[in-house]
Amino acid sequence: MRVLGINALFHDPAAALVMDGRIVAAAEEERFSRRKHGKRPLPFSAWELPELSARWCLDRAGLTPSDLDAVAYSYDPELAHPAEQLGLNDPWDHLRQEYARRAPEFLAEALPGLDPDKVRFVAHHVAHAASAGQAAPYPDSAVLVLDGRGECGSHLAGRYANRELTVLGSQSLPDSMGLFYEDLTQHLGFLRSSDEFKVMALASYGKPRFLDRLRAYVHLDGHGGFRARPVPWASLVPPRPAGGAWTQDHADIAASAQACLEEVLLGLARWLHGRTGEDVLTLAGGVALNCVANTRLYRETPFRRVWVQPAAGDAGTALGAALHIANQKEAVEAMPTAALGRGWSDDELRAWLERAAVPYEEPDDIAEAVAAELAEDGIVAWFQGRSEYGPRALGHRSLLAHPGRAQNLERLNAVKGREEFRPVAPMVLAERAAELFDGPLPSPYMLFVHDVAEEWRDRIPAVVHVDGTARIQTVDRQDEPLVARMIEGFGRLTGLPVVVNTSLNTAGRPMVDDPRDALECFGSAPVDLLALGPFAIRRKKVFA
């Protein structure tokens, strides 16, 4: 069965293709259109479809739209209610619903040859759940979904048995942990439905002194659900103007909201474990990108394993919707990797370099060449293999640096144009991780935080956050042999089994995806070396 999954209605439009039960391709529209998050989450943009990523998925498999057995759209307008009935202040939501109802027509227009009758609506939170419970390497699991909103809810709790879902609980709107966090994001001068991770980072600089007051608005209901009503944020701390300086009050309100979110998640997870008794908890929905909360779920609930969808936000519902429909006809396989996007052969990369007329080298081993550059404290743009699905750079589209230089945090934030309070992450060989970091292992998708061992904090200061943690990525040499060789080579030269890894982009721009993006980023940012496949492009030679 050939199923194309589509996420389009709210934000992070994406497409994914499942064939014969296997995940063949998945990509976010932003990587093609070069618009961060693909579009803003407004009713007026709900008609926009991930046309470029959908066409690429089909091209990747050599299919045309007429070859598809189904298109799975990750929202079901039949389940929706008017915004005013849901308690939402969204006067144009009816426009969004109309676009959703007409999605089959729009898809047939965007993908000529597609039969609109093949479009199948999948409930938004079921699509999120399938992206976790059906994609995880465990056929049986408890599944927890929390985000801003779906058709009429913001939460799903369930159980997968042999990859078949039973829904055990849900939360109706307007109560929403995702909207709670989004509201604070906006109050703190960041972009809502985009910059929530900045609130999480800022929280580490504060104390949760407003927690008791927040509990009056946000708390568990004792029956597997919660209450999350609008918080009068301005009565607690003044709003921060966009781009303005943050104060200790701003950090404290971020810390309070983070603690409040964690309390609710812990309660929901414990309730779910009591209902299922499962060893494994799988997570999806935008809230599941909160790696601080994920670690508390791992440490403080009865679940022995926690698996988080690497594209946990709405982009992941494209994959989840496709898996859900495919699984109705045939068994589906687990997600093999997050590297499900575009890639280029060495010959294609060489042709890009020749066309760009830039001087380049072809070292015997690009991993060793990069290790040597990093050991000399150079910053490296690393472009290898297929791009990642989801918001994390996982060793395919990365900026790399030396972790032993404390100034490299400030240096990388300056390169990327980011706020000074945001951390960068370490990549570490899986077999060495436990020596340096305490937390869920392995951690290949950078979705948990780990305590950094005391004896290592002064040795790798660039990757240690203000609270003594790091959001690590473990690298398995079987899955990522090139990345592993690079880290190993750096370790031989420096004695450090860790490399700084952050996403290959600058502020406000999507992650680099194709060779043109990589060359443009290299040309505009003070990066010392671009490792484009097996080729090395050095700044001192390009700009001699």
Catalytic residue IDs: 11
Nearest-angstrom CA–CA distance, 445 and 29: 20
Nearest-angstrom CA–CA distance, 428 and 159: 33
Would you list the DSSP string of 252-318? HHHHHHHHHHHHHHHHHHHHHHHHH--SEEEEESGGGG-HHHHHHHHHHSS-SEEEE-TT-STTHHH
Task: List, edge to edge, every strand of the sheet that includes 14-19.
Answer: 22-28, 14-19, 2-7, 70-73, 119-121
- Asked whether the beta carbons of 544 and 537 are under 8 A apart, the reply is no
Beta bridge partners of 280: 305
What DSSP designation does 403 have?
T
Nearest-angstrom CA–CA distance, 288 and 262: 11
Amino acid present at 215: R
> Which residues 6+ apart lie within 8 Å of 353 measured at CB?
360, 515, 532, 535, 537
Amino acid present at 493: L
C-alpha separations of 50 from 32, 76, 126, 222, 493 in Å:
9, 18, 20, 40, 45
Nearest-angstrom CA–CA distance, 425 and 263: 26
